[in-house]
């Protein structure tokens, strides 16, 4: 191998000024001989080996980076094909709160109408006035009725006079018949006239009693102890009893005990029974709860509402709650421990029926066929097919099938290896 190392030649100094030309100095020379430097073969081999190692390392790093980038791209592409799902919140059996709107009504509520026509003469109570049973609320002036009573009395007097005359005549004819002084036919006519006159007296008495009974309605009285909740009349107002324009003059309510009416959806009606207690809340008493008891049920589901009417009773001795109040009634229902409630959005209907998607420990989906006990609207009650610790997919994609790999939203990041051949 030819020596490619450079050869350094030292510079030749120029002759000194004044030196003789062509002559030679016997003691020294005026130029220096060039020196050649040689590099050993071993050092060259070391330098070549180092250069080769560096080249190999550079190539290896490049190949590794490219392989890693390619693998990362494949992994990222694979992960993008894995759907991200959310988990549904499930609830096992046990106590369950059912909140329904309720209407509060007085235990007894009586709209009081007039039984006789006339004009309101005077009223004695206004709204909010406590009243006792039989207490007079108002007086009605009835001039027409007063005249009818006078006429009835006169009619009765006339009937009694005619009946008395017929009785005397019948007694006389009775004696004549016994003496064979008159015919029996004539005597029977007198006896029949007495019977007719007696019936007329009875009719006149009944008519007078009817009018006197109507006169008793000139005074409007409270049917029971309670409070006046409405007054719809005033002095001088025309009262036309028994006509289409007739309206209640007063309303009296007994609010010592109240009735609360709620309409329970059919899905819940079987869980509500007589004697069950419920919590009552009212807007005017925030933070306070009142206890009510289920008194009776309609035992019928309304065709229009799809709900059963439930009546609850509520003690209101202190008069704190008013009739007509709007209330929120909370029932604490107890469902069997074997039942599980999931959101309706977690349910899918496939060829095999209702199913839910459950995520296993390996992040793969298993479609479970379930039995629905009760459809509660926003949620469904599952009778079988689920366990309380199952991870149920909420809003599962329609294309989801058994064995699909999924990523749970919000879960800690995990590396999912692609299948072989991917």
Q: Is 399 a member of any domain?
A: yes
Domain count, the chain: 3
- 393 closest CA partner among 377, 372, 411: 411
Q: CB–CB of 72/66 below 8 Å?
A: no
In whole angstroms, how far apart are CA 88 and each of 373, 386, 398, 405? Answer: 18, 13, 16, 17
Domain boundary among 217, 245, 263: 217
The answer to pTM > 0.75 is no
Q: Is 269 a member of any domain?
A: no
In whole angstroms, how far apart are CA 16 and each of 13, 19, 355? Answer: 9, 6, 113
Structure tokens at 147: 């005249």
Q: CB–CB of 359/402 below 8 Å?
A: no
What CATH code is carried by the domain that includes residue 385?
2.40.420.20
Q: Is 361 a member of any domain?
A: yes
Range of the domain at 55: 42-80
Q: Is 259 a member of any domain?
A: no
Q: Is 30 a member of any domain?
A: no
Q: pLDDT per position in the chain (422 positions), as tens?
A: 444 444 444 444 444 444 444 444 444 445 455 544 555 677 777 777 888 888 888 887 877 777 776 666 655 555 556 778 888 888 776 677 889 999 999 999 999 999 999 999 999 999 999 999 999 999 999 999 999 999 999 999 999 999 999 888 888 878 787 777 777 788 778 888 889 999 999 999 999 999 999 999 999 999 999 999 999 999 999 999 988 888 999 999 999 999 999 999 887 888 899 999 999 999 999 999 999 999 999 999 988 888 999 999 999 998 899 999 999 999 998 776 667 888 988 888 888 889 989 998 888 889 989 888 777 778 888 878 888 888 999 888 887 888 888 888 865 434 333 443 33
Q: Is 351 a member of any domain?
A: yes
Q: Is 229 a member of any domain?
A: no
Q: CB–CB of 400/364 below 8 Å?
A: no
What CATH code is carried by the domain that includes residue 156?
1.10.287.470
Domain boundary among 80, 103, 129: 80
Residues 6+ apart with CB under 8 A from 266: 301, 306, 307, 308
Q: Is 205 a member of any domain?
A: yes
- 29 closest CA partner among 12, 44, 46, 17: 12
Residue 276 burial (CB count, 10 A): 16
In whole angstroms, how far apart are CA 377 and each of 162, 219, 267? Answer: 80, 55, 9
């Amino acid at each position: 191998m030819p020596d490619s190392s450079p050869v350094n030649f030292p510079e030749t100094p120029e002759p000194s000024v004044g030196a003789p030309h062509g002559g030679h100095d016997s003691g020294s020379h005026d130029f220096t001989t060039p020196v050649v430097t040689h590099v050993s073969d071993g050092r060259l081999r070391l330098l070549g080996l180092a250069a080769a190692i560096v080249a190999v390392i550079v190539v290896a790093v490049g190949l590794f980076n490219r392989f890693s980038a390619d693998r990362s791209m494949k992994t990222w592409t694979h992960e993008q094909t894995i759907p991200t799902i959310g988990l549904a919140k499930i609830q096992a059996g046990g106590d369950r709160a059912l909140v329904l709107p309720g209407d509060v009504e007085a235990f007894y509520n009586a709209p009081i109408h007039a039984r006789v026509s006339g004009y309101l003469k005077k009223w004695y109570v206004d709204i909010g006035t406590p009243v006792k049973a039989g207490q007079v609320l108002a007086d009605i002036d009835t001039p027409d009725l007063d005249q009818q009573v006078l006429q009835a009395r006169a009619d009765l007097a006339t009937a009694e006079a005619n009946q008395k005359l017929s009785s005397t005549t019948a007694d006389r004819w009775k004696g004549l018949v016994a003496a064979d002084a008159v015919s029996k036919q004539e005597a029977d006519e007198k006896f029949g006239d007495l019977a007719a006159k007696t019936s007329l007296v009875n009719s006149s008495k009944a008519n007078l009693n009817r009018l006197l009974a109507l006169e008793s309605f000139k005074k409007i009285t409270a049917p029971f102890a309670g409070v006046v909740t409405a007054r719809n009349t005033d002095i001088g107002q025309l009262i036309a009893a028994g006509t289409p324009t007739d309206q209640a003059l007063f309303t009296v309510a007994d609010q010592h005990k109240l009735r609360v009416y709620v309409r329970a959806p059919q899905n819940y009606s079987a869980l509500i029974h007589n004697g069950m207690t419920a919590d009552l809340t009212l807007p005017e008493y925030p933070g306070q709860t009142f206890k009510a008891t289920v008194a009776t049920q309609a035992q019928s589901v309304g065709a229009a509402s799809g709900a059963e009417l439930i009546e609850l009773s509520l003690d209101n001795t202190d008069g704190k709650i008013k009739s007509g109040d709007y209330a929120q009634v909370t029932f604490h229902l107890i469902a069997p421990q074997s039942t599980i409630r999931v959101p309706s959005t977690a349910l899918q209907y496939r060829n095999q029926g209702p199913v839910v998607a459950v995520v296993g420990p390996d992040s793969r989906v298993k479609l479970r066929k379930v039995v629905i006990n009760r459809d509660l609207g926003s949620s469904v009650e599952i009778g079988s097919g689920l366990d309380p610790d199952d991870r149920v997919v909420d809003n599962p994609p329609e294309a989801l099938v058994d064995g699909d790999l999924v990523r749970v939203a919000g879960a800690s990041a995990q590396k999912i290896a692609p299948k072989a051949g991917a």
